[in-house]
């Protein structure tokens, strides 16, 4: 029986898709991915399954097709950083999966602001709560994936309420795309309500 490929697509722009990932995608008969990820690759000759609020149907679709077709689940960023991999491992054994790493948006963001990240706390506020205030007090650097609830403005406001105001804050929007925007400022500046796309936030002493 064919292994199920789990492929990291990188931060978004095709320039950051690893050659190995493209090779696996090209060899696949079926591509399973979110709509935005499907737009980043050529799926004109593939069977596609768009992922939304239909994860149980996705699992059944994989089980029905994996014996006769090569299936790839394509995820944003890196497979090991807040991706679909953890969910897939609830339904398939590690020996059934072929995991292809990618460049995470967090890696990309730290590179763009010229900082290392081996000493940073990394977390996600995407659809979940996170003790980022506590981590901002413990670590010199904190990297966060955001969502529509936890915007940069709300993050900054929460930091100020808890007495954290001397660090720098970086906000990266549309990372790797032509309309990429990376903004640096004080926490007080970001606490002012502004509209942001879903983005990566770095809170840093540097």
**Bridge-based pairing state of the strands 199-204 and 141-145:** antiparallel
The predicted pLDDT at position 40 comes to 87
**Bridge-based pairing state of the strands 30-33 and 97-100:** unpaired
The predicted pLDDT at position 174 comes to 93
**Domain layout of the chain by residue ranges:** 4-103, 106-204
Please tell us whether the domain made up of 4-103 is placed in CATH 3.40.1010.10: yes
pTM of the model: 0.90
pLDDT of 128 > 90? The answer is no
Angle 170-126-12 from CA coordinates, rounded to 5°: 65
- Give me 187's structure tokens: 């926490």
Read off the pLDDT band of 127 (50, 70, 90): low
pLDDT of 111 > 90? The answer is yes
- Distance from the first to the final alpha carbon of the chain: 51
Contact present, 98 and 1 (Cβ < 8 Å):
no
Tell me the per-residue pLDDT of 41-64, one tens digit each, with 9 for 90 and over: 999 999 999 999 999 999 999 999
What order do you get walking across the sheet with 121-124 strand by strand?
Answer: 121-124, 141-145, 199-204, 168-173, 181-186
The predicted pLDDT at position 197 comes to 78
CATH number of 106-204: 3.30.950.10
């Amino acid at each position: 029986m064919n292994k199920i490929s789990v492929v990291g697509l990188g931060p978004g722009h095709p320039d950051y898709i690893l050659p190995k990932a493209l090779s696996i995608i090209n060899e696949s008969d079926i591509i399973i991915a979110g709509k935005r990820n499907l737009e980043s690759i050529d799926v004109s000759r593939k069977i596609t399954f768009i992922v939304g609020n239909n994860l149980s149907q996705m699992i059944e679709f994989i089980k029905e097709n994996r014996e006769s077709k090569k299936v790839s689940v394509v995820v944003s960023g890196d497979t090991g950083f807040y991706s679909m991999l953890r969910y897939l491992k609830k339904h398939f054994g590690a020996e059934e999966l072929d995991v292809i790493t990618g460049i995470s948006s967090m890696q990309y963001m730290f590179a763009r602001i010229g900082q290392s990240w081996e000493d940073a706390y990394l977390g996600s506020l995407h659809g979940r709560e996170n003790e980022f205030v506590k981590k901002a007090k413990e670590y010199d650097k904190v990297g966060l994936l955001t969502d529509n609830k936890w915007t940069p403005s709300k993050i900054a406001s929460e930091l100020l309420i808890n007495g954290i105001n001397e660090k720098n804050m970086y906000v990266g929007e549309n990372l790797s795309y032509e309309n990429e925007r990376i903004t640096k400022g004080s926490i007080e500046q970001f606490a002012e309500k502004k509209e942001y796309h879903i983005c990566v936030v770095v809170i840093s002493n540097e």
